[in-house]
Amino acid sequence: MKTIKGPALFLAQFAGDEAPFNSWAEITAWAADCGYAGVQVPSWDGRLFDLEKAASSKGYCDEFKGIAKDAGLEVTELSTHLQGQLVAVHPAYDAAFDGFAAASVRGNPKARADWAVDQVKKALTASANLGITAHATFSGALAWPYLYPWPQRPAGLVEEAFDELARRWTPILDHAEDCGVDICYEIHPGEDLHDGVTFEMFLDRVKGHKRANMLYDPSHYVLQHLDYLDHIDIYHDRIRMFHVKDAELNPTGRQGVYGGFQSWVNRAGRFRSLGDGQVDFGGIFSRLTQYGFDGWAVVEWECCLKHPEDGAREGAAFVDAHIIRVTEKAFDDFAGAGTDRAANRRMLGLG
């Protein structure tokens, strides 16, 4: 067993145009003051990080890490959630997702996808330059509009979508292997990889690629009514990253999982700050520790009610209280009899 590292904070929801959230030096100092030991970096946010420089300059990466270290922090992972989303986009979502891309490729789905692939590859190279071995992203989605089978899906539709998804990601996974970095897909509604079954469908098509792994976030499983503890038992060998995020699902006679097109605050399923939702984090930290997960416990703050800065400060203490320092001896060692094989045979009546 190994002790989970943390607490760390995903900075995507905190970066902004006002101090201390608009520069790398200031936001790391703020995160450290909140009680964090690490930060996960949104690679698309130029206020904090220059992806082009990081992919081409080890010196820039050393300087970037040095600023975090001066604040008492480690850089835990880079994220390409927005760019990874654009690796595969169904045309129904072209307008909605165009804003995630560089202005030069908007309105051109092929150019946008090529740009996204290049972005993810650069982030993997940058991860290697930073000495990081895991990377967070989304899979993108071609089949998501056909989630519910009405009208009946044509035979082969989903299979074709997953074949194409694997075709697009295989060169990226191969680049990840060259970099020595695991790609951790956040299993997330809106992505083709949104539960265990869909992850397995993808994994089969990339021939079990060892760099195709999971970012485990139990909040998305609560909202799907999926057994998130059993999920760890099944997929622990592929779980290489952990977002600590809470959620609740309170179905009524009017709405359930789908939420009735309501705002987050009015949905049956909604994200909450740590400790305010329904996730059994004691069970999760125990399961992950049992299976030897030694990555970072990264707080991703998303709450429809609480102020983000309060959620961040409370989240650091929450994670710190849940990390289990693993034992170096069995609790019943004091009662050990110190026997040998001959004594064992005598105890079994074998002479």
- Residue-level pLDDT at 340: 84
Residue pLDDT, tens place only, 116-172: 999 999 999 999 999 999 999 999 999 999 999 999 999 999 999 999 999 999 999
Helix (H) or strand (E) holding 76: strand 74-80
Burial class (CB in 10 A: 0-12, 13-18, 19+), 104: exposed
Q: Given the structure tokens 């400790």, which residue do they identify?
A: 275
Residue pLDDT, tens place only, 148-161: 999 999 999 999 99
Q: What is the pTM of this model?
A: 0.95
Q: What is the DSSP string of 166-217?
A: HHHHHHHHHHHHHHT-EEEEE--TTSS--SHHHHHHHHHHTTT-TTEEEEE-
> Are 173 and 212 contacting, i.e. CB atoms less than 8 angstroms apart?
yes
Tokens of 34: 């909140």
Which amino acid type is present at position 22? N
How far apart (Å, rounded) are the C-alpha atoms in residues 317 and 319?
6
CATH of 5-347 among 3.20.20.370, 1.10.760.10, 3.60.130.10, 3.20.20.150: 3.20.20.150
Residue pLDDT, tens place only, 234-276: 999 999 999 999 999 999 999 999 999 999 999 999 999 999 9
Angle formed at CA 213 by CA 65 and CA 12, multiple of 5 degrees:
45
How far apart (Å, rounded) are the C-alpha atoms in residues 313 and 307?
10
- Residue 164's CB is within 10 A of a number of other CB atoms, namely 15
Q: Given the structure tokens 């539960």, which residue do they identify?
A: 195
- Residue-level pLDDT at 334: 67
Which amino acid type is present at position 75? V
Residue pLDDT, tens place only, 67-116: 999 999 999 999 999 999 999 999 999 999 999 999 999 999 999 999 99
What backbone phi and psi angles, to 5 degrees, belong to 271?
A: -80, 145
Q: What pLDDT band is residue 328 in, cutting at 50, 70 and 90?
A: confident
